Amino acid sequence: MKFQIELSEQEAQPVLSIRTRAAMENLPQVIGQAYGEIMQYMAELGEQPADAPFTAYYNLDMQDLDLEIGFPVAKPFPARGEIKSGEVPQGKYVSCMYKGAYSQMEEPYNEMFKWIADNGYAQKGVYYEFYYNSPNEVPESDLLTKIVMPLK
């Protein structure tokens, strides 16, 4: 196995996020705009993110992705406009830290799907990606993304 896959139990994590739909080729603009809007709202609240920004994928239709884009926060905050207060639910999760280009993420995903099946679990069909740096900061080969999948 090329990637280190970990199983964990996680507490619920409050988030501020925007739910939207987009085609794969529009992701950089859509995600960047959503992060900007949420960061502006958090600045108005005098708050900082509690962890790395994330995108949750509720499907894998590359032409019509159902997305939740946001930031973990220390506690729930009021919703405003399209920015919603929510949470990454409590539960059992499998995760993998991936280093490399976003375009090459099929390999860790496939290893995670295999690990889940081989270990007798079933995943819920939501895929979280937490981004620990960005293409604006580092070369593609140094991008750090934690892929997290909730289990049934």
3-state helix, strand, coil in the chain (%, to 5): 25, 40, 35
Q: How far, in Å, CA of 15 to CA of 85, rounded?
A: 6
Q: Which domain holds residue 100?
A: 5-150
Q: What is the pLDDT of residues 110-150, one digit of tens each?
A: 999 999 999 999 999 899 999 999 888 999 999 999 999 99
Q: Looking at residue 58, which CATH number applies to its domain?
A: 3.20.80.10
Q: How far, in Å, CA of 58 to CA of 34, rounded?
A: 17
Q: What is the pLDDT of residues 41-81, one digit of tens each?
A: 999 999 999 999 999 999 989 899 999 999 999 999 999 99
Q: Please give the model's pTM, rounded to 2 decimal places.
A: 0.94
Q: What is the pLDDT of residues 78-120, one digit of tens each?
A: 999 999 999 999 999 999 999 999 999 999 999 999 999 999 9
Number of domains within the chain: 1
Q: How far, in Å, CA of 12 to CA of 21, rounded?
A: 24
